[in-house]
Structure 1
Amino acid sequence: MTEIRGPSRAQRWLAAGWLALLLLVAGHNGWLWLGGGARLETDILAMLPQNRQDAAAQDATRQLADSASRRVVVLLGARDWSDARRAADAYVDAIRASGQALAPRYRVSQRESDGWLGFYVAYRSQLLGDDARRRLTDASAPALAEQAVASLFQPVGMPRLGRWQDDPLNLYGQWLGERAAQSRVRVRDDRLSLADGDTQYALVMLEQQGPAFSVAAQRAMLPALAKAAEAARRAAPQIQLIQAGVPLFAAAAASQAEREVHTIGLGSLLGILLLTVLAFSGVRPRVLVTLSIAAGLACAVSLTTLLFGKLHLITLVFGASLIGVAENYGNNYYAYRLGKPAGERWAMLRGQRATMWLAFATTAIGYALLALAPFPGLRQMAVFSVTGLFCAFVTVLCGLPFADRGDMPYNRFSRALGGWRLAWPRWGRNRFSLAFALAALAICLAGFAQLRANDDVRALQNAPRQLLDDQRRVGELMQIAGPGQFFLVTGSSPEQVLQREEALKSRLAPLIAAGKLAGVQAVSDWAPSIARQQADHQLLQRVVYAPGGVLEQAAAKLGQPLRAAPLPALRPLSLDAWLAAPVSEPLRAQWLGRFGDGYASVVMLRGLAGPSMLPLLAQAAQPAAGVRFIDKVGEISGLMRHYRQLMSWVIAASYLLVLAMLWRRFGRRAWRALLPTLISSLLTVALLSLFGQPIQLFTVLALLLILGMGVDYGVFLLADDDPRAFLSVTLAAAGTLLAFGLLALSSTPALAAFGLTMLLGISLCWLINPLFTPKT
């Protein structure tokens, strides 16, 4: 007779204490997510060890990204400027009428233009461009005097600001012209514009107000932009409209994610519910298993936040993927409940407890090994994962028997699934085993021969083609400096930072002259160092305004002798004065200001010829103290490569430790519980390679999950030859495939790689594990 005995007093107290703890965790999670207590870290570099982080580089990247994360650039082009202007006016009117939090900027008043020019007038005697400085240094005074006289009779030349005798060589006009040449944007009819061949473009810049990555704001922004574009085309039917900006990419990603949640997410949910109803004749088991998983995730969030102070987004995403592992415990409980009276559930649980503990331990050990790596991110992921699994497991042990009520008939569907195990061949000295071994070996050899890795973060992008083309076109037309690569310049004072910027620009000049780089964008272009201002002021005084200098010689040639007068006394243009003026607004984000014991700035690059230029740029920074070349794309890609390699070693170590734990329980049969997962993982990697899929970080993350789930399947099947064990494994595998395998259909490359790996790995684990289970 089957033992019918309820829970002991200790079990009741344990369940009550666990329930109280879960209520506290629920309250803490409510405060975190609803009360604003959650601190979600999104910077991937925050996962690096502290001694490898460069706070100045991170601040630079963050400041540059923040300046661009709210801005949408719109170009409206036509052959006739009046059409472009009319379309821009209609576009802006529609944006304003939409009521959306988008602040347009496309007009510049004459007062603003005059104020920009007027700011530098007081400093004109100490501002020299690179070409002017070379001329004054290399050319003779008579030759320069000839140029000064000739400039008076040239019908077309650089616009002159002020009297001829105040600036006979028009050096101030040249300085302004060099600065203006850094951008193709001009002011025309009080509007921002640029020209490209026969096409005239009106430029509209939209600044998104409020949170930069608010999903609600993104949803509302796209219809407003579409209506504005329609209004522009009504005003000028032949208009060419180009839109670009980070908010557009964020909105496209949010829209894509929403579509996939509705399709993939809904499909997996319906599939799991259908399986539950068919196997357990109701949805109550699914609800209770889901609650156990939710309890585990909530506990993981609370403990991780308390220990680390904040939760990294990657940790949260990776932790959420543990649903498929945690589901094994609940499925195993209900599979063994089938066909048994409710009163026997405690005895059944006591019989399964040892196997469930072993399954949990072998799974958790792989995640616990992440804590040994010297990476804060991996340690946080380890704490989150082990906590989530443990709490979900304890919830099943303590909570499900109390919430479980009524009988669960062992129906025809459940019997059929459990009975499938009898159809599997068994590993041994037979033809099937030889054929299987040869086929697996051939696939592995062919796949590993083509194996390659790709850690380039750009491979994870999947924005719409039109959006990428528009972004590229806007960059070409406006010659915008990209934030992906830049020079970080540091110094003990602002003056030292500016001097180091100027020295760096001198070293980059040969690359610009060779056409490998269109130019640079630096704070010192607009606010030179005091040393540079003093040197230029002295050079002007000595060559142009001193007795016998260029001014006197040019005046003599004109027959109007002028007595040379000294330049006005040097009035240094301070960095603080420049930063406080409206003229600094376009480059203000490049000045990082005070950082630690010093100061820092960013020198941006325009028109990078290609990736082959990166080593040359890095080499240009090497000879100088306080100057470093930052390649954020390469840095993040390198970080992903390091994580991939490190986690590969973690997986290898996990196999050894799991084997040791299995040996204590199963002895010489332990290999039967682990080898199927190893074979499945190797075949998965080989098949991915044959399919042309490179190995990346998300592939390795999936392999770690496959190890945890596959070993669970092996433990359950090896511990018990009951068909219920195979039913449990089948339901767990089906649920995992529906929850994560369908991600292979995602249009997001990272999710697709993760989903495809899970699809192949879990399917193979389910197919291969029964082969190695001996007949009893």
Structure 2
Amino acid sequence: MSPRRRLSLALVWLALLLVGGWWISQQLQLSGDLRKFMPEARTPAQKLLIDELGEGPGSRLLLLAVSGDRPEVLARQSAAMVTALAGDPAFSLAANGGVAGLESIPEALRPYRYLLSTTLDHQPLDAAYLSDQLEARLQDLGSPMAALVEPLLPADPTLEVLALADTWQPATAPQQLHGVWFDREGRRALLAVQTTAAGFDPGGQEAALAKLHAAFDAVRGDSSSQLLVSGPGAFAVEVGGRTQREASFIGSLDGVIFSLLLLIAYRSWRVPLLAALPLASGGLAGMAAVALGFDGIHGITVAFGFTLIGVAQDYPIHLISHQRPGLSPWDNARALWPTLGTGVVATCIAYLTFLISGVDGLKQLAVFTIAGLGVAALTTRYLLPGLIDTTENGGKPYDAASSSAMAKVWGHFSRWPRMGVTTGVLLGAAGLAVIWFVPGPFWQNDLSRLTPVPEHLLVQDGQLRAELGAPDVRYLMVVQGADAEAALQASEALQPVLVQMQSEGLLQAFDLASRYLPSAATQRARQARLPDAPTLQAALDAAVADSPFRSDVFAPFLSDVAAARAAPPLTAADLAGTPLAARVDGLLLRSDSHATALVALTGLEDPVAVASLLAPHGAQLLDLKDASESLVAEYRTRLLWALALAAVLLVATIWVALRDVRRTLRVLAPMALAIIVLLAVLRGFGVELNLFHLVALILACGLGLDYGLFFDHAGDSREGQLRALHAIIVCSLATLLVFALLATSSIPVLQAIGSTVALGVIFNFVLALLIVRQPAAESGEGATPEPIAEHGGAELLQ
């Protein structure tokens, strides 16, 4: 192809990439909901686990500590923070134990206060009670509380709003200094903030954190105080930022190293540019496929997808390494295509298992990877040959077969003894023995062990939770009902049992939805105890007669009681848009067919005893840790069966391509042995395998298969073996470098994938060299590589 046509092709290709990138940027909606990468929940406990992780109050709770100044200064800043956050729609709750807790009771709900509180359950609203309350208000007006009490007095002479706000404070609240929460040492002012954004909404959590810090900066002034924020949302933002920084650093470093590697390997500045085009095409194709097939693409899909289709960088390397003088790039691509295409098809079969995984995120990953690998291979086959300049260096482009350096490398490797069947069987048996007999669990089911949150932050979070009395994140009580009303009634019936457990020391505290929203039946019973207007007026007149208050001052009070007496009971839907909605919604899960009332626990001491006490009352104690482990185990089992099916299809694909049982076994043997050896090494070092190791093993299998296929493609030709060895060395080094960098990451997921694939590259390369490579015949170019079967793979792939 002439230089002008090569330039035109390159410009058109780049233009298509730019247009494709622009279109994808318009269509693509990035998602941060990590539940897309969670297996489908099957049991009630698993379903609750998924709901709690993303939507529950625990996932939205942020714990704050203000320190670094005098207690009275910290108290003022804490109060100012709560006031600033109270009106912000990004937060459904901001509490510090102070009177600002009144903000949780909107003005529209205050007439309902006698229906929501327990006062009327044990105290009639009569003249004696009102007289006692008015006497207490006189004392309040002469105290420091006057500024708080005076505005409330006309509508609420019994200060029922304050009693209700106090009832809704955490049951195990910390000590108070200067009217707000402080830690035991009195050095840090404590706050609890609940975000409107779900725990699995990193964008929403990041925006909420930004508002928190902005509010603190506004109230701090020139103080030396500092703000500490902990909780799932803070961890998500911290980990997300760290992941982005590490990924950016590793990606940039890998790009530089990869370019240098290609410059050294091919001694041409054009090669890194040429190799980047199929990879970029594959990446854009993967994102376009996900954008068309799904509502949005997850950020993890993009990150993992580009990592997994990194195998596509091997395709242009094979094409360029197998290029030789006198051979048209088109003919070179045509000769390589059956082998290259077989590897692509086999690798895509492995990723097809993700499509039947039942996990939306992994389905996205499968579509991304399969589309990306397919397009990268097709552009290498049908576009890249047009850009290869065979006139470079005076018509003598780099040829690995004529390289003295490659001759030395080949001479070294050619002295390695080939591995026979007996040695291979012994190696496999030794690896299986290590896998079987090494003590300790084989699989890692504990999701918390995979957390990328630094240990000191977890310790800090535990300390703040202990100070604030935050609910247990592992155990949860569940009460089922046909609807919200039935669930609320059931939780109310359970409350005496919980109080008994508390008195016996089985748990420190509990929280349930009926604490904030009593059932309609309870509200009606309290309505019935409210006096009618004439009776209340007479009781109020009698109480006022013995006090200095004027009777007409309390007209708003009479109006509120009359409104509460005639109003329909409050429901969860009526709380929408109020701070109470977040509390109730987090503890009362509703659907069209049933409702579930949750009971959050603090300080659970004896789960077995508590579970046995709950059983007669129709309640259940759920262990969310056990639910998460069973969820992972069930999903892994499903994925392993899918991988077994993929293995059968993969063997069938290689046999159809090669049409020779002996060659098929020889190509597959290194991959199978490499997996056994890799698992044995991981087990030997005490590594418990998780789902991310499985993802990495699939990728390692694809790489090993490529090495085996191209060593087989080289046949017994010395020149063919030199070119194949050159391509495989460059591919191996490029892959090894990127995954070795990932193995150094502080993110456990990236560590697991990086270390597993890096070891897989080494084992696959060595075993393919020992098993698949044939003794070379000193026959020059005359010896042709043993081809893919003409009526097998060629028919399948062309």
Scaled by the length of structure 1, what TM-score is found?
Answer: 0.74
Match of 1:371 among 322, 333, 355: 355
CA contact (8 A) 2:509 2:602 kept: yes
Q: 1:195 to 1:275 in 2, by over 3 A?
A: closer
Letter in 1 for 2:515: D
Q: Does 1:729 align with 2:728?
A: yes
Match of 1:464 among 443, 454, 457: 454
SS state at 1:517 partner: coil
Q: 1:736 to 1:291 in 2, by over 3 A?
A: same
CA contact (8 A) 2:330 2:386 kept: no
Distance across 2 between alignment mates of 1:318 and 1:262: 13
Match of 2:180 among 193, 197, 204: 193
Match of 1:693 among 687, 697, 704: 687
Distance across 2 between alignment mates of 1:123 and 1:219: 31
**1:261-300 counterparts in 2 under 5 A?**
261=247, 263-300=249-286
Q: 1:127 to 1:359 in 2, by over 3 A?
A: closer
SS state at 1:687 partner: helix
How many Å apart are 1:523 and its aligned residue?
2.6
How many Å apart are 1:586 and its aligned residue?
6.6
Q: Does 1:590 align with 2:586?
A: yes
CA contact (8 A) 1:86 1:235 kept: no
Q: Does 1:350 align with 2:337?
A: no
Percent of matched pairs sharing the same residue = 23
Residue 3 (structure 1) aligns with: none
SS state at 2:508 partner: strand
How many Å apart are 1:297 and its aligned residue?
2.3
Q: Deviations over 1:544-603 (max 9, x none)?
A: x9xxxxxxxxxxxxxxxxxxxxx999566523697279673672543668x553675653
Residue 434 (structure 2) aligns with: 446
How many Å apart are 1:648 and its aligned residue?
2.5
CA contact (8 A) 1:289 1:327 kept: yes
Residue 320 (structure 1) aligns with: 306
Q: 1:710 to 1:507 in 2, by over 3 A?
A: farther
Match of 1:184 among 173, 182, 185: 173
Scaled by the length of structure 2, what TM-score is found?
Answer: 0.72
Q: Does 1:680 align with 2:702?
A: no
Match of 1:360 among 335, 339, 344: 344
Residue 554 (structure 1) aligns with: none
CA contact (8 A) 1:592 1:599 kept: no
SS state at 2:268 partner: coil
Match of 1:213 among 194, 202, 208: 202
Residue 340 (structure 1) aligns with: 325
Letter in 1 for 2:763: L
Distance across 2 between alignment mates of 1:183 and 1:119: 29
Distance across 2 between alignment mates of 1:380 and 1:750: 18
Letter in 2 for 1:336: H
Residue 603 (structure 1) aligns with: 598
Residue 545 (structure 2) aligns with: none
Match of 2:648 among 650, 653, 656: 656
Residue 38 (structure 1) aligns with: 29
How many Å apart are 1:397 and its aligned residue?
0.2
How many Å apart are 1:42 and its aligned residue?
2.5
How many Å apart are 1:606 and its aligned residue?
3.3
How many Å apart are 1:102 and its aligned residue?
11
Q: Does 1:409 align with 2:398?
A: yes
How many Å apart are 1:417 and its aligned residue?
4.5
- Number of residue pairs matched by the alignment: 700
Which segment drifts farther, 263-272 or 290-299?
263-272
Distance across 2 between alignment mates of 1:318 and 1:363: 16
How many Å apart are 1:209 and its aligned residue?
10
Q: Deviations over 1:723-756 (max 9, x none)?
A: 1111111111111111123211111112111111
Q: 1:85 to 1:181 in 2, by over 3 A?
A: closer
**Structure 2 runs not aligned, ≥5 long:** 124-128, 140-144, 151-155, 536-560, 716-720, 777-798
Letter in 2 for 1:707: C
**1:90-101 counterparts in 2 under 5 A?**
none
Distance across 1 between alignment mates of 2:159 and 2:228: 38
Q: 1:751 to 1:652 in 2, by over 3 A?
A: same
Letter in 1 for 2:771: F
Which segment drifts farther, 648-657 or 375-384?
375-384
How many Å apart are 1:692 and its aligned residue?
1.4
CA contact (8 A) 1:491 1:598 kept: no
Which segment drifts farther, 509-518 or 22-31?
22-31
Q: 1:65 to 1:762 in 2, by over 3 A?
A: farther
SS state at 2:689 partner: coil
Residue 189 (structure 2) aligns with: 202
Q: 1:452 to 1:42 in 2, by over 3 A?
A: same
CA contact (8 A) 1:60 1:602 kept: no
How many Å apart are 1:701 and its aligned residue?
0.7
Letter in 2 for 1:643: Y
Q: Deviations over 1:516-551 (max 9, x none)?
A: 33322223112211322445677999xxx9xxxxxx
CA contact (8 A) 1:520 1:603 kept: no
Distance across 2 between alignment mates of 1:456 and 1:216: 25
Q: Deviations over 1:484-533 (max 9, x none)?
A: 65456665554333213323444544543443333222231122113224
Q: 1:386 to 1:540 in 2, by over 3 A?
A: same
Distance across 2 between alignment mates of 1:104 and 1:72: 12
Which segment drifts farther, 271-280 or 488-497?
488-497
Residue 555 (structure 1) aligns with: none
Give RMSD over aligned pairs.
5.3
SS state at 1:609 partner: coil
Match of 2:56 among 52, 64, 71: 64
Distance across 2 between alignment mates of 1:490 and 1:360: 51
Which segment drifts farther, 529-538 or 380-389?
529-538
**Structure 1 runs not aligned, ≥5 long:** 1-5, 137-144, 546-566
Q: Does 1:385 align with 2:374?
A: no
Q: 1:509 to 1:739 in 2, by over 3 A?
A: same
Letter in 1 for 2:775: K
Distance across 2 between alignment mates of 1:198 and 1:571: 49
Q: Deviations over 1:49-75 (max 9, x none)?
A: 598899887566533369727x56224
Residue 744 (structure 2) aligns with: 745
